[in-house]
Amino acid sequence: MKVLVTGGAGFIGSALVWKLNQLGTRRILVVDQLETSEKWHNLAHLAFEDYVPKDQFLRWIEQGTFAEKPQAVVHLGACSSTTERDADYLLANNYRYSRTLAEWCLARGVRFIYASSAATYGDGSRGYSDRDDITPWLRPLNQYGYSKQLFDLWALRTRALDAIAGLKFFNVFGPNEYHKGDMSSVVLKAYHQVRSGGRVQLFKSYRDDYPDGGQQRDFIYVKDCVDVLLWLIENRVGGLFNLGTGQARTWNDLAGAVFRAMGRPAQIDYIEMPDALRGRYQYFTQADMTRLRAAGYEAPFRSLEDAVHDYVTGHLDAATPYLES
- Tens of pLDDT, residues 239-279: 999 999 999 999 999 999 999 999 999 999 999 999 888 87
> Is the model's pTM score more than 0.85?
yes
Could you tell me if 71 and 235 are in contact, meaning their C-beta atoms sit under 8 angstroms apart? no
- Of 13-17, 92-96, 164-168, least confident by mean pLDDT is 92-96
The predicted pLDDT at position 80 comes to: 66
Give the pLDDT band (50/70/90) at residue 207.
very high
Beta bridge partners of 201: 269
User: What span, in angstroms and rounded, lies between the C-alpha atoms of 315 and 176?
Assistant: 9
Angle at 20 between CA 18 and CA 25, to 5 degrees: 120
Which domains does the chain show, CATH number per domain?
Answer: 3-173+218-247+284-302 (3.40.50.720)
Asked if 144 is an active-site residue, the reply is: yes
- Of these residues, 2, 54, 180, 204, which one is catalytic? 180
User: What span, in angstroms and rounded, lies between the C-alpha atoms of 136 and 158?
Assistant: 13
Considering the chain, what percentage of its residues have pLDDT values greater than 90?
A: 86
**pLDDT beyond 70 at 84:** no
Could you tell me if 160 and 154 are in contact, meaning their C-beta atoms sit under 8 angstroms apart? yes
- Of 12-16, 33-37, 247-251, 271-275, least confident by mean pLDDT is 33-37
The predicted pLDDT at position 141 comes to: 86
- Of these residues, 95, 121, 144, 311, which one is catalytic? 144
The predicted pLDDT at position 159 comes to: 97
User: What span, in angstroms and rounded, lies between the C-alpha atoms of 62 and 195?
Assistant: 48
Considering the chain, what percentage of its residues have pLDDT values greater than 70?
A: 98
Asked if 221 is an active-site residue, the reply is: no
